[in-house]
Chains A and B, each alone.
Chain A
């Protein structure tokens, strides 16, 4: 089956610093990748959709200058949380899809736990 990895799995950073999270599709080419965040005991909230080689599309209420997304290749997307604050502490999950149509299944990564102190 298709495998999506995330790195790091956990990260602790100080307030005001930036942190980068990587999402990789290991055995398929992902034309589209999605980034979600999940707070404790809550569901996944879609943050943005990224397609290889083009700018990401952000959901309403998500600051694009704070959450920088780069989908530089068909197997790698990165999410950079800039000037992180404690309220950015969350579980960040990516998913990847082989095709651009909604008919293609999304495969989820294992998530990255970000803690901002």
Chain B
């Protein structure tokens, strides 16, 4: 199993501030995904990155996949209270798995206050 480490574990910021969440591994991933999960709900896919060095933007969210495909980051610009949630990165469990099983990082709890 290739481990995914997320940092920080918890982040509290005020509305309008920027924040960055990191997802790191010592292993190479063919792809990484970012999800947001709200309390009592299932995770919702935000983005999938597949190419080393790739940058994807989703409104105020910017996702980057490291050149070596071992790490990824999520940057939120001008955070809003609606961005509050648990942010999870996920990737394939192994290079040989054919079922597409996912493993998740521990998550970063983001709290945006007014």
Contacts and interface: CB of A to CB of B under 8 A. Distances in A.
B66 interface: no
Nearest to A107: B45
Q: Which DSSP category, helix, strand, loop or mixed, fits chain B's interface?
A: loop
Interface in B27-48: 35, 40-45, 48
Contacts, number: 63
A34 B97 CA distance: 14
A44 B100 CA distance: 15
Contacts of A101: 98, 100
A113 interface: yes
Nearest to B4: A43
Contacts of B88: 43-44
A83 B9 CA distance: 34
A46 B101 contact: yes
A106 B98 contact: no
B105 interface: yes
Contacts of A107: 45
Contacts of A6: 42
Contacts of A4: 42
Contacts of B45: 105-108
Nearest to A111: B42
A46 B43 CA distance: 13
B102 interface: yes
A43 B107 contact: yes
B103 interface: yes
A51 B100 CA distance: 12
Contacts of A43: 88, 104-107
B93 interface: yes
A39 to B, nearest CB: 11
